[in-house]
Chains A and B, each alone.
Chain A
């Protein structure tokens, strides 16, 4: 299993960023997928997840209306569109494979820094 995130970087408050995750080594279309973030020196926070076929999506309350998770099973890819970013959005964002509610495989993360 390999999960490789990209798209992180420095963005101003109120700005947007789109994260991508390239999956390989497993049948991507058969798994729920998630984004989990970790602010510098802090704990883990589940952000969003998406069902195998994209028909069900969930978000943590703090990002509802601003973040959009999506997937392209033909490209074995997961995405996170982040709009109206705030300072608390500064974090390492992990792409994570789900298995029955748990997070069993993690990428190495992509760093998002929200700062002026």
Chain B
């Protein structure tokens, strides 16, 4: 089974900060990685797929990169609406989510 890890588990940041979250897979998943945003009491929302492709309607301040086993999600300038929990998910072999990274207000 492919295991996913994320770091950090919690990130404290201010509006306007550039923030990066890292996701690592226990084996090569090529580019088959997605990122989701979840706000309290809401369903997750797809942000990025195929490691770097922006889902339609997602602000361009979000970007994804990586391949193989290491991936990143970046917000170039954190906005008030971006404080949420972010999950990565691999779909190379079966489907596995990472444990999540909570982005909170500093």
Q: Which residues of A contact B (CB under 8 A)?
A: 34, 43-46, 49, 58, 60-61, 94, 99-104, 106-109
Contact = CB atoms under 8 A, between A and B. Distances in A.
B46 A103 contact: yes
Contacts, number: 53
A-side binding surface: helix, strand, loop or mixed? strand
B34 A103 contact: yes
B-side binding surface: helix, strand, loop or mixed? loop
Categorize the interface residue count of chain B. Answer: 20 to 34
With most chain A CB atoms within 10 A of its CB, the pick from B38, B50, B97 is: B97
Given A44-B97, A45-B97, A46-B96, A104 B46 contact: yes
Given A44-B89, A61-B1, A100-B50, 9 more contacts: A34-B95, A44-B44, A49-B95, A58-B94, A94-B43, A94-B44, A102-B89, A103-B36, A104-B46
A103 B99 contact: no
